């Protein structure tokens, strides 16, 4: 049985207590953060954490992020806290930034996917912070079935997990919309492992140049040689194609593709920052912030409306655009069309 705890009108300490109890008892509770919804369990309880992997269908070697509510909790999880970690935490926590640090023995290897490091973040959502305070540090991946778009509404979590976890806290829509930026501070040089809700430029202002892990950019291959299923991630049921290039040419290319797919009898969905005449259209908004916020919702929503193919407009890769393009390219399985 899953209880859906309504907190759309704001924090309710009595309900938080109930949810916090469930975490302490080793149960699974999905909760909102400012980025996406998380599927939470007591980070130090192996059995509970194992259930997260089972529920998501997540490979056991893909580590989880541990969520904390006070800086002092970091000392209980990380063996060493380098000065970069202190500087970044001071400036950006609570917020969409995750730091990877050498782990303490107390953190189970199940939580860290067998690694000697632990990823930690302090989320900037009052419900998430209250839930952690009412329980313990919480391990939480995004609350989606592995491979599907991350959830930015409680409804998305209900779709994926109703009947399979103990509780879902509905805190309304999340406001960042893409997951946290992950920075590895456990090796010699600070390295970006995943672009996310905190732009890399902001991080570099505080700690100087950050290396970019080669996996971050992914590869832009042409349609004919797309590796396909192997890289599917963040994917709705309908195939996604991303159109990238100079703005004017992108518009033209999208119109061309709509016509082409429609002539084959496909129901075509488009997600973009300006209007298009398609079978289904989702307006992503105008700014990069809007696009980040609406991205995952658009993928799920166009799927729900039953389109056969989704055409997504690419955006520039600066600021939040780096995270947006990383998610879009993965969602498309690298079916990228250059305009
Ligand atoms: O915004 C977010 O980060 C959301 C909310 C719920 O906080 N969480 C989230 O978790 O996106 P998840 O599990 O979907 O993504 C965690 C990412 C993965 O790419 C994982 O490989 C990486 O963080 N990660 C976790 N621990 C790591 C570690 N010890 N070393 C390297 N990467 C790690
Ligand atoms: Mg995820």
Domain containing 124: what range?
3-214
Same domain, 193 and 72: yes
* Helical residues (DSSP H) of 110-189, grouped into ranges: 126-133, 154-161
Same domain, 36 and 81: yes
Same domain, 14 and 149: yes
Q: Does the pLDDT value for residue 222 go beyond 50? A: no
144 is in an annotated binding site: no
Number of neighbours of residue 47 by Cβ within 10 angstroms = 11
Same domain, 242 and 297: yes
The rounded percent of the chain whose pLDDT value lies above 70 is: 96
CATH of the domain at 179: 3.90.870.10
Same domain, 306 and 189: no
Same domain, 199 and 263: no
For residue 135 and ligand 1, the question of a CB distance below 6 A is answered with no
Same domain, 170 and 307: no
Better-predicted residue by pLDDT, 271 or 220? 271
Q: How far apart are CA 154 and CA 38, in angstroms?
A: 10
- Cis geometry, peptide bond prior to residue 136 (ω within 30 degrees of 0): no
Number of neighbours of residue 198 by Cβ within 10 angstroms = 24
Same domain, 35 and 92: yes
For residue 62 and ligand 1, the question of a CB distance below 6 A is answered with yes
C-alpha 139 to ligand 1 mean position (Å): 10
For residue 141 and ligand 1, the question of a CB distance below 6 A is answered with yes
Instruction: Using the 3D structure, point to which of 150, 183, 214 is the last residue of a domain.
Output: 214
Model pLDDT, residue 176: 98
Instruction: Using the 3D structure, point to which of 145, 179, 214 is the last residue of a domain.
Output: 214
Same domain, 334 and 278: yes
Q: What is the value of ipTM here, to two decimals?
A: 0.99
Q: Could you tell me how far CA 229 lies from the centroid of its own chain? A: 20
Model pLDDT, residue 221: 41
C-alpha 278 to ligand 1 mean position (Å): 35
Same domain, 125 and 47: yes
Query: Is 104 in contact with 76 (CB distance < 8 Å)?
Result: yes
Q: How far apart are CA 295 and CA 281, in angstroms?
A: 13
CATH of the domain at 246: 3.40.50.11030
Instruction: Please give the tally of structural domains in the chain.
Output: 2
Mean pLDDT of all residues in 275-301: 98
Mind listing the pLDDT tens digit for each residue in 1-38? Answer: 999 999 999 999 999 999 999 999 999 999 999 999 99
- Cis geometry, peptide bond prior to residue 94 (ω within 30 degrees of 0): yes
Mean pLDDT of all residues in 129-156: 97
Q: How far apart are CA 232 and CA 285, in angstroms?
A: 25
For residue 177 and ligand 1, the question of a CB distance below 6 A is answered with no
Mind listing the pLDDT tens digit for each residue in 35-66? Answer: 999 999 999 999 999 999 999 999 999 999 99
Instruction: Using the 3D structure, point to which of 214, 241, 257 is the last residue of a domain.
Output: 214
Q: Does the pLDDT value for residue 223 go beyond 70? A: no
Mean pLDDT of all residues in 67-73: 98
- DSSP 8-state secondary structure symbol assigned to residue 147: T
Distances 327 to 14, 231, 270, 277 between C-alpha atoms, Å: 37, 11, 16, 25
* Helical residues (DSSP H) of the chain, grouped into ranges: 13-24, 46-56, 71-77, 83-92, 126-133, 154-161, 200-207, 214-217, 247-263, 288-304, 321-331
């Amino acid at each position: 049985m899953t209880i859906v705890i309504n907190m759309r009108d704001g924090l309710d300490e009595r309900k938080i207590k109930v949810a916090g109890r469930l975490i302490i008892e080793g149960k699974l509770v999905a909760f909102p953060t400012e980025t996406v919804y998380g599927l939470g369990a007591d980070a130090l309880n192996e059995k509970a954490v194992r259930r997260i992997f089972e529920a998501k269908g997540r490979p056991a070697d893909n580590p989880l992020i541990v969520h904390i509510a006070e800086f002092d909790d970091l000392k209980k999880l990380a063996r060493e806290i380098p000065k970069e970690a202190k500087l970044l935490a001071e400036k950006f926590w609570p917020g969409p930034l995750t730091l990877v640090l050498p782990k303490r023995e107390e953190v189970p290897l199940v939580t860290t996917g067998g690694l000697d490091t632990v990823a930690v973040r302090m989320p900037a959502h009052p419900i998430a912070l209250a839930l952690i305070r009412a329980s313990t540090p919480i391990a939480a991946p995004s609350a989606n079935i592995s491979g599907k778009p991350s959830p930015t509404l409680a409804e998305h979590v209900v779709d994926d997990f109703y009947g399979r976890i103990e509780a879902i806290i509905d805190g309304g829509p999340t406001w960042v919309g893409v997951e946290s930026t992950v920075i590895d501070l456990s090796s010699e040089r600070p390295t970006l492992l995943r672009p996310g809700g905190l732009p890399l430029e902001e991080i570099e202002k505080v700690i100087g140049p950050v290396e970019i892990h080669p996996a971050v950019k992914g590869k832009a291959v042409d349609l004919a040689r797309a590796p396909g299923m192997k890289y599917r991630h963040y994917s709705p049921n309908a195939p996604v194609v991303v159109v990238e290039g100079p703005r004017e040419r992108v518009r033209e290319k999208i119109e061309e593709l709509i016509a082409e797919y429609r002539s084959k009898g496909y129901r075509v969905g488009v997600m973009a920052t300006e209007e298009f005449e398609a079978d289904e259209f989702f307006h992503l908004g105008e700014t990069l912030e809007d696009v980040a916020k609406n991205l995952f919702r658009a993928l799920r929503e166009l799927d729900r409306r039953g389109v056969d193919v989704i055409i997504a407009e690419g955006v520039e890769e600066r600021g939040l655009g780096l995270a947006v393009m990383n998610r879009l390219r993965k969602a498309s399985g690298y079916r990228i069309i250059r305009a």
